[in-house]
Structure 1
Amino acid sequence: MKRLFLMLLFVSLLISCKDEPKNEVQAEENESAKIDPVNNDMMESAVIYEANIRQYSPEGTFNAFTKDIPQLKELGVKIIWLMPVHPISMKNRKATGDLSIEDIEDPEERKKYLGSYYAISDYTKVHEDYGSMEDFDELVQTAHENGMYVILDWVANHTGWDHKWLEEHPEWYTQNEKGEPVDPLNPATGESWGWTDVADLNYESEGLRKAMTEDMLFWVREHDIDGFRADVAGEVPTDFWENALAELEKIKPVFMLAESEDKDLFENAFDMGYNWEGHHIMNGLAQGKASAKEWDDYMKKIDTTYQEDDFLMNFVTNHDENSWNGTIRERMGDASEAMVAMSYTIPGMPLIYSGMEYDMDKRLKFFEKDTIPKNKGKMYPILEKLGELKNSNPALHGGKDAASYSDITTSNEEKILAFSREKNGEKLVYIANMDAGDTSFSMELEGSFTNYMSGEKLEITKDQEMQLSGWDYMILLRDSAE
C-alpha cells in the first residue's frame, strides 16, 4: 500500500511539473494583453481611428482588420473606434434611394443591400459577416497588446425593426396615436428624419434604461471593451448616460465619446464630443466661404462656451461626411493637407477614418459592400509624422489638461491663420495660407524655429515680411535653446 501511495505521489508531481510551464506561459499571455486603465494622460496625446469593419478589407472581417492593428501604431493611434459590429435588421432595411429591401423583388438584387450599421437587431451579438465573438475578442486583445484602447459605437436612440424588444416590450418605443412604434421624429417639427429602418426608443421607461445599461455592461464585463462612442448622443436623455457611466465605471474606467457638441453632456457623462462647428468652418475655409478671422472668432467663442476640461474630436472626414457629403478632396480640394495638419494642431483629438491614410478619394457605399484602397501614397507618411508629433510633444496636448492656445496677430487676418500652443516649456506654431493664391504677410512672432514637416531652420523677427503659397502651411517648433 505504501509503495502504491509513493507511486501515485510521484505521478502527481510529474503531472504538476508538466503543467507548471504551461501555466506560466498562460500567465505571460494574459499579462501581455493588459493595458493601463483609460486615463487622462492617454487622452492628451491620443489619435483616434474610426474602423469601418465592413469596408476596411475585401473580406470585411474582424480578422482582416486585426492583422493591421500593429500598423496603426505607426500613425500614433491610441484609440480604435469600431463602427457598429452588431447584427443588422432585415425588416425595413434600407436599399437604394427611398426604397427598402421589401421593395426589391429580385432575390439576388436584395443580397447586395446589407443595411445600415445603425439598424441593430441585437446589442449582445456580433454580425456573422464580420466573424465570431472569438474573432472579436482577438481584435480587442491585439489592440491592448499594442497599447490601444477599443471603443464600440453604441446606438441607444433606436433599434432595428427586428429587435426582440419590439415584441417583448413595445412600451419601450415611441408610439403614434394608434399605439404603433414609429421611426425617430424631429422634435422641432414632429416629422420623420427619414430613418425609416429603425424604431425610436422612449426613455421614460425604467425598464428600457435598465436593459440598455445591462447590454452596455455586457461588453465591458465580458469582452473588455474600453468605452463607447454614442450615436446621436443628444437625442438620448443626459441622465441615462450619466447613470450608465456610473455603472460601467464600477467595472473599470472607460472612455466616452458623444456624437454631439452639447456642453451639458460633458459634465458627468462624456469625455469628448464632436467638433462639428469647427469642421464646418474648415470646409468653409477650404471652399473660400470663410476667412481665417472666422476661425479666430470661433476659437474665442468656444473658449467661453466650454469648461476648461472639455475637449472635442477634430476631423476632416468620418463615415457620415464621406458617404453623404463627399470625400476630403471633394470638400477641401487643394486645402486638404493644410486642414489635416490643422486638425492635429488645434486643441482636441484628431480622427483618422478608414481609408484616409491611403488617400481614399471615393465615397464609400453605406448600405452595400465596398472596400477602401490599401496603397500608401502621399497621406500615410504625413499622418505618421503628425501622429508622432501629437504623441510626443506636450504643446499638442488636447485633453482635459490641454496646452494653451493663443491667436497670433498677422498683417492679413482674412487669409493667414496663425496660432501657438504651449505647455511644459514646449512651444509650437501653426501658420497657414487659407487662400488659393500666394499671400505675403508679417506677424507678431519672433525666435528660432524648426519647420517640423521639412526640417528647415527659421529665424523669425517681429514684423518680418513672409510669403506662403496657396494653401501652404508650416508647423514650427521653438528651438530648445530659446
Structure 2
Amino acid sequence: MKKLIVLIILISIVSCNTKGQNKKETSENKQSVHTITDSDLETAVIYEANIRQYSPEGTFNAFTKDIPQLKQLGVKIIWLMPISPISKKDRKGPLGSYYAIQDYTKVNPEYGNLEDLKKLVDTAHENGMFVILDWVANHTGRDHHWLTEHPDFYVRDDKGSPVAPFDWTDVAKLDYSNPNLRKEMISEMQYWLKNADIDGFRCDVAAQVPVDFWEDAVKKLKQTKPVFMLAEAWEPNLLVNAFDMDYGWDTHHIFNKIAQGKETVKAWDNRMKQVDTLYQKDDILMNFVTNHDENSWNGTVKERMGDASEVMLALSYCAPGMPLIYSGQEYDIDKRLRFFDKDTIQKNKGKVWPLLEKLGKLKNTNKALNGGKKAASYTKINSSNNNQVLIFKREKEGEKLIFIANLSDKDVTFTTDLFGEFLDYLTQEKTTINKNQKLMFKPWEYKILLNK
C-alpha cells in the first residue's frame, strides 16, 4: 500500500511538472506569435484608427468588434491615434485635440478603460495584427501634471512661461536638454509595453525631438520586447538607429499634384530617384492618399484627387513602401471629419472596400510587393509617352508585378518596351502585350499585371 501511495505521488509530481512546462511553452509560443518581425513589415498594410470618430459610440469596444473585418483588408498594423486624456486648459473646440496630452499613462475615459484597450490589443493579436500607439513626445497639454511637478521639463520664454510649439496654443513644448525628462518619457513609453502589450509607437512631429533621444528610447524599449517605430517625419537620419518607417510626405504631395494636373509622370520618376538618393535600402516609407491631418485640414481624397483617386490608391500599394488606410477611407468617406469635436463615419461598403480587399491580398501574398527592409526591386519601364504613362516593374525571388497607368485626364495611345503574357490581377483575365503594340488607356486607367 505504501509503495502504491509513493507511486501516485511521483506520478502527480511528474504530471504537475509537465503541465507547468506545457504552460510555459504555451506562454512562450504566445509571446513569439505576438512579436513583430522584419518579415511582417514586408507584407504589412497599416490602418490608422481614429477611435473618437470611428463609431457613434467612439469607444475601443466599438472598434474592437470590427478588427476581424480589417483582416479582410490585409491590415497587419493598427495605429491608434492618441488614447490619453485630453487637457482641458486652453482646449480647442468642445473635445480638444487628441495631441494635447493630459497624462501619458492613463486612458481617455471617453474611449473606455485600460481593460477595454487590452481587449482591443488581444483581439488584434488573435487576428495576426499588431498595435502601435500614437506618441506625442514633443509637447504636453497645458494642464499636464508635469507643469507643476516638474516645471523644468518645459521650454520657457523670457518671462518663464511655457512655450507653445508653432501656433499650437493648447500645448507646451518639452525641453530635451533635461536628462530627467528623457528618463521619465522613456518610462512612460515602457508602461504601455508592459501593461497593455503594445507593439510600438507612431511618434508625432518626430523631427522636433532630438534624434539621440529616440535612439536611446528605442534601445531601452527593445529590452522589453521588439517594437515597430513610425516617425511622423521625412528625415532619413531618424531611420538610422531609431525608426523603422518615415512618412512618404513628398510621395503624397506628388499624388496630389499629378491628380490635379500640376505635375506629370516625370515628377514621379524624379521622386523615385530622390528616394534612392536620400534613403538606405532598408528604410521604409509610408504611402498614403489620406490621413487624419490631410482629411480634416486639406480635404477628402475626392476633393484633392477627384477622378484620379482610385489609381493613386492602387499606386500607393504597388510602389515601394507600406500603404496606409485611414478610418473611413474603406467606406468611401467623402467628408472632412471634425478634429476638435465628435463626428461619425458612415459604414457603407461601396467601391473602395472591395478594391482594398484585392490590393491587401496582393500586398500580403506577392513578394513582388514586399516593401520592408528587404523590399522588392523597382524598375522604370519606358513608353512612347513618358509624360502621361507610368510603367514600372517590381520583382523579388522570381515573382514579378507590372504597374501601368495613364496618369492624366486625357485618353492616351502609346507603345512600350514591355511585351509578353500576363494575368490582369484585378479582372483575373489573361492578357497579351505584343512588341510595338499600340495600347489605349482612358483617363486615369491602370492595370496591375502579374508575370508568372
The one-letter code matched in structure 1 to 2:74 is: G
1:406 counterpart residue number: 379
TM-score, normalised by the number of residues in structure 2:
0.94
What's 2:397 paired with?
Answer: 424
Between the aligned residues of both structures, percent identity stands at: 60
Match of 1:304 among 262, 274, 277: 277
Secondary structure of the residue that 1:91 maps to in structure 2? coil
Q: Does 1:68 align with 2:66?
A: yes
Q: CA deviation at 1:466?
A: 0.1
Partner residue of 2:100 out of 119, 122, 128: 119
Higher deviation after alignment, 35-44 or 196-205? 35-44
Name the amino acid aligned to 2:398: G
1:49-104 residue CA offsets vs partner (Å, 9 max, x unmatched): 00000000000000000011111110000000000000000000012xxxxxxxxx
Matches within 5 A, 1:61-460: 61-95=59-93, 113-184=94-165, 193-460=166-433
The Cα shift of 1:298 comes to: 1.1
Deviation at 1:24, TM superposition (A): 8.9
Tell me which amino acid in the other structure corresponds to 1:375: N
Q: Report the CA distance between 1:432 and its aligned residue.
A: 0.7
Q: State whether residues 92 and 197 of structure 1, in contact with CA within 8 Å, keep that contact through their aligned partners in structure 2.
A: yes
Aligned counterparts of 1:263 and 1:350: Cα–Cα separation in 2: 19
In the TM superposition, what whole-angstrom CA distance separates every residue of 1:338-375 from its partner, at most 9, and x where no partner exists? 00000000000000000000000000000000011111
* AA at the equivalent of 1:137: K
Cα distance in 2 between the residues matched to 1:154 and 1:58: 25
Three-state SS of the structure 2 residue aligned to 1:60 is coil
CA displacement at 1:454 relative to structure 2: 1.0
Q: Could you tell which deviates more after superposition, 371-380 or 312-321?
A: 371-380
Partner of 1:49: 47
Taking the aligned partners of 1:31 and 1:372, their CA distance within structure 2 comes to 37
Query: Which consecutive unaligned segments of at least 5 residues does structure 1 have?
Result: 1-5, 96-112, 185-192
Shift of 1:463: 2.5
The equivalent position to 2:38 in structure 1, one of 40, 45, 66, is: 40
Moved over 4 A (4+): 23-34
Which amino acid in structure 2 is aligned with residue 379 of structure 1?
A: V
> How many Å apart are 1:456 and its aligned residue?
2.1
Gap change, CA 1:329 and 1:225, over 3 Å in 2 = same
- In 1, are the aligned partners of 2:248 and 2:287 still within 8 Å (CA)? yes
2:333 counterpart SS class? coil
What is the letter of the counterpart of residue 176 of structure 2? Y
Structure 1 pair 307–28 and aligned structure 2 pair: CA distance change class (3 A): closer
Contact 1:35 1:145 in 2 (8 A): no
> Secondary structure of 1:81's match?
strand
In the alignment, residue 159 of structure 2 is paired with which amino acid?
A: K
How many residues matched?
Answer: 441
SS of aligned partner of 1:72: helix
Give the CA deviation at 1:30. Answer: 9.5
Distance 1:56 1:156 in 2: 25
**Cα displacement (A) at 1:34:** 6.2
Distance 1:33 1:51 in 2: 24
- The DSSP-based 3-state class of the residue aligned with 1:330 is helix
* RMSD of aligned residue pairs (Cα, Å): 2.1
1:181 Cα offset (Å):
0.7
The match for 1:461 among 434, 441, 448 is 434
Task: Note the C-alpha offset of 1:25.
Answer: 9.9
Structure 1 residue 33: Cα displacement: 7.8
